[in-house]
């Protein structure tokens, strides 16, 4: 690793040693994967538990990927725990306000604290990184309320650092595209329902089957707004690709299929929100 990355990783290891026994919220993304790898290497498998929340807002295939990844990282199989979260039972979450993530993370982190008490770990960790501190992240408030520790953010480890470290450490998902929960595809103020989440999941699964790697399908009632990398735009002019996209997504219940000319970007649902939600 480069000198700066080595220094940050050494500081991460030192911080983990201070925490001793930890429960990590494990999404299978590169951030929580690096944190889990560092924790297993530093503390030993007997002192680390990875917990994945299973809910309607998670792509079903992601759950098994998390299990396999934890095993590849070296976590003891019995220390990988799946919990069923019930955020959709909370009317505040279903109403989909701009701070929806606060209610989701409150449910998740509360369940992680339950696991920590059960296994005898004092600390719950999440994979928030330094870049997240400068983005609209209502879940950070839930983390603070429930005493969740974010070692990557504390030390100043950025997403770029994480991918570089992950590559050099041999993490199999070091270049995995970022995945937000499926509810993030639904505009604020539009109720989050199982039907909508399933429709988005089906649409994104279909685009993946066509070979697209990084994208979002935003759910605007009967309109599917597709965000693609601009480098993928030329594919839209390949023979039959447009007709395949239109037909495949319409079968899921959408009436109109649109391509967002601004392309893929994270957090597009936060655009044009009132200034009070700004960081």
Where residue 225 sits, what CATH number does that domain have?
A: 3.30.70
Q: How high is the pLDDT of residue 105?
A: 94
User: Is pLDDT of 269 > 90?
Assistant: no
As a whole number of angstroms, the distance between CA 110 and CA 131 comes to 24
Q: How high is the pLDDT of residue 278?
A: 43
Q: How high is the pLDDT of residue 4?
A: 62
Same domain, yes or no, for 28 and 91? yes
- Which of 169, 200, 224 is the C-terminal boundary of a domain? 169
Same domain, yes or no, for 61 and 113? yes
Average pLDDT over residues 165-172: 93
Asked if residue 278 is part of any domain, the answer here is no
Strand, helix or coil for residue 19: helix
188 neighbors 273 (Cβ within 8 angstroms) = yes
Average pLDDT over residues 17-31: 96
54 neighbors 81 (Cβ within 8 angstroms) = no
For residue 219, what pLDDT band results from cuts at 50, 70 and 90?
very high
10 Å Cβ neighbour count for 160? 12
Q: How high is the pLDDT of residue 108?
A: 95
Average pLDDT over residues 148-167: 95
Q: How high is the pLDDT of residue 52?
A: 96
- Which of 145, 169, 193 is the C-terminal boundary of a domain? 169
As a whole number of angstroms, the distance between CA 107 and CA 127 comes to 17
CA 235 from centroid of its chain's CA atoms? 27
pLDDT in tens, 202-214: 999 999 999 999 9
For the chain, percent of residues with pLDDT exceeding 70:
96
Asked if residue 116 is part of any domain, the answer here is yes
User: What are the helix (H) ranges across 91-240?
Assistant: 91-94, 100-119, 139-145, 151-155, 159-169, 194-209
Same domain, yes or no, for 155 and 229? no
This prediction has a pTM of 0.90
Same domain, yes or no, for 145 and 58? yes
Same domain, yes or no, for 85 and 159? yes
Q: How high is the pLDDT of residue 120?
A: 96
Same domain, yes or no, for 76 and 153? yes
Average pLDDT over residues 83-90: 93
For residue 275, what pLDDT band results from cuts at 50, 70 and 90?
very low
- Which of 113, 137, 169 is the C-terminal boundary of a domain? 169
Q: How high is the pLDDT of residue 274?
A: 47
Same domain, yes or no, for 65 and 104? yes
Asked if residue 238 is part of any domain, the answer here is yes
DSSP letter, residue 262:
T
Mean pLDDT of the chain: 92
Same domain, yes or no, for 14 and 82? yes
Average pLDDT over residues 94-107: 95
Same domain, yes or no, for 135 and 195? no
Same domain, yes or no, for 100 and 224? no
23 neighbors 121 (Cβ within 8 angstroms) = yes
User: Is pLDDT of 2 > 70?
Assistant: no
Average pLDDT over residues 251-265: 96
Domain that holds residue 56: 3-169
Asked if residue 142 is part of any domain, the answer here is yes
Same domain, yes or no, for 207 and 131? no
Same domain, yes or no, for 210 and 160? no
Q: Domain count for the chain, please give it.
A: 2
């Amino acid at each position: 690793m480069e000198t700066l990355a080595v220094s940050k990783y050494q500081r991460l290891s030192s911080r983990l040693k201070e925490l001793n026994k930890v429960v990590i919220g494990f999404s299978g993304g590169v951030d929580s994967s690096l944190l889990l790898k560092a924790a297993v290497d530093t503390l030993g498998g007997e002192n680390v538990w990875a917990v994945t929340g299973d809910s309607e807002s998670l792509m079903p295939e992601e759950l098994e990927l998390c299990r396999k990844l934890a095993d590849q990282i070296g976590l003891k199989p019995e220390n990988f725990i799946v919990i069923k979260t019930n955020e959709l039972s909370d009317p505040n979450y279903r109403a989909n306000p701009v701070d929806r993530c606060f209610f989701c993370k409150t449910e998740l982190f509360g369940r992680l604290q339950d696991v920590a008490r059960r296994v005898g770990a004092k600390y719950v960790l999440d994979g928030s990184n330094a870049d997240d501190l400068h983005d609209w992240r209502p879940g950070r408030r839930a983390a603070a309320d429930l005493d969740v520790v974010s070692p990557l953010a504390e030390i100043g480890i950025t997403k770029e650092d994480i991918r570089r470290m992950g590559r050099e450490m041999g993490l199999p998902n070091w270049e995995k595209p970022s995945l937000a929960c499926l509810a993030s595809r639904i505009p604020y103020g539009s109720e989050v329902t199982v039907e909508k989440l399933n429709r988005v999941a089906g649409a994104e699964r279909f685009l993946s089957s066509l070979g697209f790697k990084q994208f979002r399908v935003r759910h605007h009632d009967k309109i599917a707004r597709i965000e693609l990398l601009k480098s993928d735009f030329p594919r839209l002019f390949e023979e039959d690709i447009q007709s395949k996209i239109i037909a495949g997504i319409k079968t899921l219940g959408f009436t109109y299929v649109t391509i967002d000319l601004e392309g893929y970007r994270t957090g597009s649902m936060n655009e044009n929100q009132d200034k009070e939600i700004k960081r």
